[in-house]
Amino acid sequence: MTPKDERRSVFPPADRDALEAERAPLTQQTLSPAYRLAFDDLDFLREDALRPVRLQLELLKTELSLNRLGVDSTVALFGGARVPPPEKLGPDTPPGLAALAPWYDVARDFAAAASRASLARGGREFVVVTGGGPGVMEAGNRGAVEVGAKTIGLGIVLPHEQAPNGWVTPELCFNFHYFAIRKMHFLMRAAAIAVFPGGFGTMDELFETLTLIQTGRMARIPILLFGEAFWRRVVNFDALTEAGVISPGDLELFSFVETAQEGWARVAAHHRLAEAEER
């Protein structure tokens, strides 16, 4: 893309006109909401009828930012926001979550492996992206930063707002109103998906990705399910096949893995990274 200061236009920029409008004399006419510039009128932009425009703006803001910052491909980490770092386990930690705590470090190590590969290739590919929150998301962003890489956080406004974790690269920290647009950005550049134990949100992201690939709406990429015991306990994949609601071949759309090294090896093999480095 052409940087903003290098573009030439015969028309005045929007920010200049916004300043000029603010300098207008204060009269009944200029104080009326009708007089506001449409792009500078938040009341107008928040109307229900403007929902299609807001959807487009959410898609474009992040897309243009990632283009400007040179992000060509990503590795997405999905997983539970409630999974605690092992160092923060305490007597009040529910036993179920305490049992999942080791996955925090596995996610952290996997993100570090992806980020080292990213740095080796110039930092434009395999950039780690998470939902930007706590738990597995924090682990992913943390693992990337600890090896010196940039990392993306795609936040979402929730009733109980969770602030972005402190490991997200500030200029790559985005916030969304629409779940649908956020999920598009998780997948638009995805070179691999790593899914760790989690709840409804994790399930939603996993099964939407599987559906897109199953139906041919998305190119096939590695989908790694970390922790076979967890996933087989919470989802009876074989029962889906036996019932005939999915095909036996659909079970090949994802792989169970247990370690960060095993997970990254599958991604590297899929993208033939070792072969590329040898050439």
Residue 9: predicted pLDDT: 79
Residue 146: predicted pLDDT: 98
Quick: pLDDT tens for 238-263: 999 999 999 999 999 999 999 999 99
Q: pTM here? A: 0.90
Residue 275: predicted pLDDT: 61
- The domains of the chain are located at 51-278
Quick: pLDDT tens for 83-98: 999 999 999 999 999 9
Residue 180: predicted pLDDT: 96
Residue 2: predicted pLDDT: 47
Helix axes 200-214, 179-188, angle to 10 degrees: 60
> Which run of H or of E encompasses 249?
none
Matching residue, tokens 């926001």 = 81
Between 276 and 187, the more confident residue is 187
**Fold category of 51-278 in CATH:** Rossmann fold (3.40.50)
